[in-house]
Amino acid sequence: QVQLVESGGGLVQAGDSLRLSCTASGRTFSNYVMGWFRQAPGKERVFVAAINWSSGSTVYATSVKGRFTISRDNAKNTMDLQMNSLKPEDTAVYYCAAGVWPIIYARGRDYDYWGQGTQVTVSS
């Protein structure tokens, strides 16, 4: 029904910036929530940020608030995650996800569609 593809990951140094993108195809994203999750090696997948597609309302994990910014382009069905002041602890595979509103933004199991992930590595 919906296909999601992430891009923009890479290797950067602490303090650098990186911008991730998620391209969506298939069903319209009106009344959807789209979000970013990440998973570090050997650890659980955790919530990063989410945005309500229609209203533009956003929510962030405490660990990234003030450093990361989530945004969307309604016409292009794309979602970006601007990551600034990156830290080594931000190293993880980042996943794009989409779910039908209403959902609990930070609960991964509420999302219906997932991308393949993109690797972000932040060196010391």
What gap in Å lies between CA 56 and CA 40, rounded to an integer? 28
Q: Whole-angstrom Cα distance, residue 86 to residue 106?
A: 21
Structural tokens at position 41: 């090696």
Q: Tell me the pLDDT of the chain (124 aa) as tens digits.
A: 889 999 999 999 999 999 999 999 987 667 889 999 999 999 999 999 999 988 999 999 999 999 999 999 988 889 999 999 999 999 999 999 999 988 999 999 999 999 999 999 999 9
